[in-house]
Structure 1
Amino acid sequence: MTEIHTPRLLLRRWHDDDLVPLAGINADRRVMHWIDDGLPLDLDGTAEEIERWEEEWDDEGFGVFAVELLASGELAGAVGLFVPEFLPDARHEVAVSWRLGSQFWGQGYASEAAQATLEFALQDRGLERVISISRLGDTASENVIRKLGMKLDHETEHPALGHPLRVHAIDLTEFAA
């Protein structure tokens, strides 16, 4: 089983008892505001999401991790890697993404988990390049992206929803520098 330990976090595969806490995070409109259509997900939608993430682990050898606080064992959110099939100009890329419960914002958890995931992608999984996709105006995500050392690659638009997106990237040589 793939696990990553950081100073404060455990990034791990999903357990059955993660469903309800993640559904609570996904039900928060503030959390979901910048994600997909901005609408909260219910329990069934959250279960489908976890199932998709676990299938990606099985198919690709990477996926979205459950993020657990080491101090309390509490589920803080989801951080990991996915193939952005929804975006035609990036569907052959691997993206890093994050989603934390609002009570965990502003504490550096997203940056800590995303940095560990980026290292996992480039050093452990041998990827040459990783991207991150953010919606225009999502300054919190832009701050994490900057901390990861990613640079703006291009701007585009969500093909189904129409919102402007920014695609940032980093490759192995930039990461190692």
Structure 2
Amino acid sequence: MIETDRLILRPWRDGDLEALAAINADPAVSRWLGGPITRDMTAAAIARQQEYQQRLGFCYWAACLRDGGGLVGMIGLQPTRFDAHFTPAIDIGWRLGAAWQGRGLATEGARAALDFGRRQAGLSDIVAITAVGNHASRAVMERIGLIRDADGDFDHPSLATDHPLCRHVLYRSPAA
């Protein structure tokens, strides 16, 4: 478990499915993720994160408010799940419910996850990716100190080449 001023990043629990499914069902949340995310897809994602936590000691953790306010999204680290010129790699990412976006929570949680990755997991190279037009996520990447690798931009292999989100940018953690 990781604690920040306002967040707790913790392993997933069986009771988290409905809250994350509701977040994932919101078009404002899924608009940068390539399409709607169903309840079944959410259940599979939680199971995958639980497996990463058990096997690697990290995952995209459940992000909860410290004041007992419940699940607001997910923030953490996971292995990339596709082939590209920079994979295999460990990806840092976040997804927050629409009501929690724009409050600095993604930056706060991502800083803590990045610190965990470097100090506790011993990761020297952590990447972050997003669609070119996702300026909010790109701003988080820059605020936590990741550096744009403009030569690393790529077409996401999970999306059709004519999909509006196909082109992705690559950010990397600076050398320690």
TM-score, normalising length: structure 2: 0.92
Higher relative contact order (CA 8 A, sep 6+): 2
CA deviation after TM superposition for structure 1 residue 140, in Å: 0.5
**Is the CA contact (8 Å cut-off) linking 2:128 and 2:141 kept in structure 1?**
yes
The alignment partner of 1:44 has SS state of: helix
Checking the alignment, whether the CA contact within 8 Å between 1:122 and 1:172 is kept in structure 2 is no
Name segments (4+ residues, structure 1) moved above 3 Å. Answer: none
- Picking from 146, 168, 171, the partner of 1:165 is 168
- Structure-1 residue corresponding to 2:19: 21
Per-residue Cα deviation, 1:106-150 (whole angstroms, up to 9, x for no partner): 110000000000000001110111110011100100110110111
Question: Residue 68 in 1 paired to residue 71 in 2?
Answer: no
Where structure 1 has 5 or more consecutive residues not aligned to the other structure, the ranges are none
Residue 84 (structure 2) pairs with residue 91 (structure 1): no
* Identity between Structure 1 and Structure 2 (%): 35
CA RMSD of aligned residues (A): 1.1
Q: TM-score, normalization: structure 1? A: 0.91
Q: Residue 74 of structure 1 aligns to which amino acid in structure 2?
A: G
2-structure distance, mates of 1:73, 1:17? 15
Counting matched residue pairs gives: 169
Cα contact 1:27–1:41 (8 A) shared by 2: yes
Matched ranges for 1:1-177 at <5 A: 3-35=1-33, 37=34, 39-153=35-149, 154-161=152-159, 162=161, 163-173=166-176
Structure 2: 5+ residue stretches without partners: none
